[in-house]
Amino acid sequence: MLGSPFDLRIIAEKMALLVVILSVILVFANLTHSNRKYLKYFIGFAILIQTAYMVWRALYTIPTFNVISLVFGGLLFLAELLALLQSTTHRIMFLKDFNPVIKTLNDLDVLPTVDILIATYNEPVSILRNTVAAATSQKYPKDKYKVYICDDGCRDEVRQLADEYGAVWVTREKHTHAKAGNLNNCLQNYASGELFAVLDADMITKSTFLERMVGYFDDPNMALVQAPQVFYNPDPFQNNLKLFETIPNEQDFFMREVLERRAMFNAVLNVGSNAIFRRSAIEAIGWIPVGTITEDMATSMLLQARGYNTTFVNENLAMGLSPDYFADYVVQRDRWCRGNIQVMKKWNPLKLPGLTFMQRLIYLDGVMYWFFGLQKLIYYIGPMLFLLFGIPIYYSDVFTMLLFFVPTYYSASLIFTLFGHKSRTYTWAHIYESALAPYLSISALSELFFSNKIKFSVTPKGKSASHTYFAFRVALPHIILAIFSLISLAVGINKMLTDVNYMMPVYLVNLFWLLYNMLGIFVAIFVCFEKQRFRAAERFSIKDRLFLQFPDGSGTYVDLLDISVAGCAVSPVEPINNPDGFCGEKMTLVFPDAYFSIPCVFLRSRSWGRKIILTFDGLSTSQYSTLVNFIFDRQMNGFGEFSKENIFTIMKTKVFR
């Protein structure tokens, strides 16, 4: 952005016009907020504003002073153009209210046979046990489903686990094509059900998983029914920033909101787990596709291209683990980024026969999203180039720029708010993307142009940290960006104070741009402080009244405070005499509503006996399965999801006050 000698009259006219435009936008937005029938008109109005901005950008603002200005100015324009296309797709998807039809088992004449395939490689058996216990205790006729543990690690302890729970242990000699090859091996050589479910090793299903999902297959053309991935532990942002349930899980926006809207256009994306497929449909596309490290995306797209139907059940029916550490989170996103680009190169959604226009647009948008790292880096470079070296990549006087840019950004942010997203805001989208930008920019470029063969890597989960530490290697790209940002800030402030007066607005705009970038950069650095995780087994707050039976047969009623698969905390309804005297004693905890009891050990008491910690000990297979069902059947939401007063809820309620 360039400056020019002040013409106060022209500046005043432009700013007055800006105030008028913003006032019109705000009035229109408030009208839309109170009456949803105006939403499509407001979206059309916003797209018109954004289109006018991009036309003006293309015609008047790309600098040609030198090669650097031209190259980075062109790249900035392309980044903004990509953002326009993505925001337009998002608006089309969320334009109309969506009320999906609910199906149950009563919609079926005959219950189909179902195979449950649990894919595992090297995950801890302690995590896999929960998944197997839940999968083998479904509220579905026992003779109608069978569980297969597809063990690509060929571990003897997994074989023993399968024997213990009556599951089938499946292995193979050649471990080709990673997870897709593992599942295909089971489907072609072991499983034979009409339907099959796919679960990751950490995804613990509710006992109603099959009951709630299978009814949708009353449609003979239904090939895929997908449930969201919901997470019961804090992700790296929630844990390392100490925000915990104040913000939702980073994946909730896609898993709970975007996937539901994709269902409107039969463009549901298989997310690798928590899905049920019709076997004949998978056979028709040549089994689960191989040749990419994200076989899930390819599977759903190929099914839809063959004319099959897909749908999404927006319920918490299975819960898993988020990556514990930011480094693992980066590895996971790197795999997703590369895999999406691989799918685009092998099955281009723009050319794949059979897809509708909206399916092509949605899949293309899904792939283009993974180039956000490059977009962010271009946004980072812009103010630094100008403040450090005086090289502009955006050619305009400040006040004309504000006249075009501010209404564009303001209307876009209001639309995002009007959609009522429960798990994402503009600011947090900026933070999430900033945290990954340096890594995924490299991933996207290398996969797009070089296609180096990347070994499939399982995201590590279920680890615990005994202390807080700083992941310096992971934070290094952000530290470098932070150093350059701070230098640019100091140099920019100095130039603003010493340069001619008419350049002050130019420096102010670039400094504001820089500070906005620094918000994402510095939060990313803080996320690299890996905070201590105390528990190997996550605890859940469940309120219920149980009965604690002492060794001599007597006992007392207790209120359940929290519980995990390893133990629980209870509060006696009546005070217990000398509670510490029971430490180490074996007891029995009776669950009245669930009609089961489990052995436990009195570990310790707290708050003078008002809180008692019990650890479970010596549970049978049946008792463990019932305990898992007791815990996870009661979980309506994931960790931080739709919490009553999270940051996002508070921010949204203030926008239209």
Q: Write out the two tokens for 427.
A: 């600011």
Residues of the chain with CATH 3.90.550.10: 105-325
pLDDT at position 529 is: 95
- What is the per-residue pLDDT for 438? 96
pLDDT digits (tens, 9 = 90+) for 337-351: 999 999 999 999 999
Helix axes 504-527, 472-498, angle to 10 degrees: 160
Q: Is 272 exposed, middle or buried (0-12, 13-18, 19+ CB in 10 A)?
A: buried
Average pLDDT over residues 51-63: 95
State which CATH number among 2.40.10.220, 3.40.190.10, 3.40.50.620, 1.10.10.10 fits the domain covering 544-632.
2.40.10.220
Beta carbons of 628 and 230 less than 8 angstroms apart:
no
Please check the confidence at residue 654 and state whether its pLDDT lies above 80.
no
pLDDT, average across residues 304-324:
97
* First and final C-alpha spacing in the chain: 34
Distance CA 548, CA 254 (A): 43
pLDDT value for 36: 87
pLDDT band at residue 65 under the 50/70/90 scheme: confident
Number of CB atoms found within 10 A of residue 541's CB: 10
Name residue, tokens 């005043």: 12
Percentages helix, strand, coil for the chain (3-state, rounded to 5) are 50, 15, 35
Q: Where in the chain is the domain with CATH 2.40.10.220?
A: 544-632
DSSP codes joined into one string, 53-83: HHHHHHHHT---SSHHHHHHHHHHHHHHHHH
Higher pLDDT, 210 or 36: 210
What is the model's pLDDT at position 642? 67
Residues 6+ apart with CB under 8 A from 257: 421, 422, 423, 424
Res 474: pLDDT: 95
- Tell me the DSSP string of 127-161: HHHHHHHHHTT-SS-GGGEEEEEEETT--HHHHHH
Structure tokens at 221: 């053309």
Helix H or strand E segment including 278: strand 275-278
pTM of the model: 0.91
Q: Which contiguous run of DSSP H or E holds residue 589?
A: strand 586-591
The two beta strands, 114-120 and 195-200, are parallel
At 463, is the pLDDT very low, low, confident or very high (cuts 50, 70, 90)? low
Q: Which CATH superfamily is domain 105-325 in?
A: Spore Coat Polysaccharide Biosynthesis Protein SpsA; Chain A (3.90.550.10)
561, containing H or E segment: strand 555-563
8 A C-beta contact, residue 211 and residue 105? yes
Which range (52-56, 288-292, 368-372, 458-462) has the least confidence?
458-462
SS3 614: strand
Each residue's pLDDT tens digit, 379-411: 999 999 999 999 999 999 899 999 999 999 999
